[in-house]
Amino acid sequence: MSLSATTRLLTQLQKTALDAIFPPGCVSCAEPIDTPGNLCGRCWPEMTYISAPYCDICGFPFEYDAGDGFVCATCLRQPPVFARARAVLKYDDASRDMILGYKHSDQTNRAPTFANWMSRAGAELINDCDVICPVPLHHKRLIKRRFNQSALLAGEIGKLNDKPVIHDLLTRKRPTKSQGGLSAKARLRNVRGVFEITPARKNSLDGTVVLLIDDVLTTGATVNACSRSLIEGGAAKVDVLTFSRVVRASNTAI
């Protein structure tokens, strides 16, 4: 085989390998693109990426840099149970379909791409954690959906960063209504006392720093409830990394 044919074959094999990991088209609109695991030139500028300056605790983005360690009014008024939350991008009209497609339409091949971006946005949190765990689904919903979108992300982030992932660290004691469409207060009520450390994992948390993974942070009620169980179960600290987060004009989250 000539050198150029070998190179062509290698390039093709490399491409096949990448296609197996990443969806071949744009991860949002599926338009063909040259590099798998990316957004196309039309979708990329539409997204709002979350970067500093933001609230040191919940990651709510600020328009102006108020200095290191600055905290938003919501976190000042009522600090969340988790220590820090970070996200890749804003949940808005541009990102909604991409995220819902991943969550509800079996487009699970987006998980490696999302996890790759989350690894960058949450590099500090990943570096600081001892163990990664996902927000669990109730087993009835898991059967219906066939996969836990947060667990897929947690698994990929663990692999990419060589960190241990405990998928069954938390369980949902009872099924809950979907948080979608509920008010902030109703969301709090809906998840209160719902999560617990899986009995077999009860002794594995002593003094550990846990990184909790979810797909979207909305009011923070779910990750806060999970964090409470983890802290009560012995975790020293819980950080939260989500792919996306809702950003309201006034941060009434958490």
Q: Which residues bind Zn ion (CB under 5 A)?
A: 26, 28-29, 31, 40, 43, 55, 57-58, 60, 72, 75
Q: Report, in Å, the least distance between residue 109 CB and Zn ion.
A: 15
SS (H, E, C) the chain: CCHHHHHHHHHHHHHHHHHHHCCCECCCCCCECCCCCCCCCCCHHHCCECCCCECCCCCCECCCCCCCCCCCHHHHHCCCCCCEEEEEEECCHHHHHHHHHHHHCCCHHHHHHHHHHHHHHCHHHHHHCCEEEECCCCHHHHHHHCCCHHHHHHHHHHHHHCCCECCCCEEECCCCCCCCCCCHHHHHHHHCCCEEECHHHCCCCCCCEEEEEEEEECCCHHHHHHHHHHHHCCCCEEEEEEEEECCCCCCCCC
Distance of closest approach, residue 248 Cβ to Zn ion, in angstroms: 12
Residue nearer to Zn ion on the CB measure, 18 or 40 = 40
Residue 118 CB, nearest distance to Zn ion (Å)? 19
Half-sphere exposure of 22 (CA within 13 A, CB side): 22
If the CB atoms of residues 43 and 115 are measured against Zn ion, the closer one turns out to be 43
Rounded least distance, CB 167 to Zn ion, Å: 28
CB of 34 to Zn ion, least distance (A): 13
Judged by CB, which is closer to Zn ion: 32, or 199?
A: 32
Task: Identify which of residues 103 and 245 has a Cβ nearer to Zn ion in the complex.
Answer: 245
Q: How far is the CB of 111 from Zn ion (least distance, A)?
A: 18
Buried b / exposed e over 181-217, threshold 16 CB at 10 Å, is ebeeeebbebbeebbbbbeebeeebeebebbbbbbbb
Nearest distance from C-beta of residue 238 to Zn ion, angstroms: 15
CA 114/CA 118 separation, integer angstroms: 6
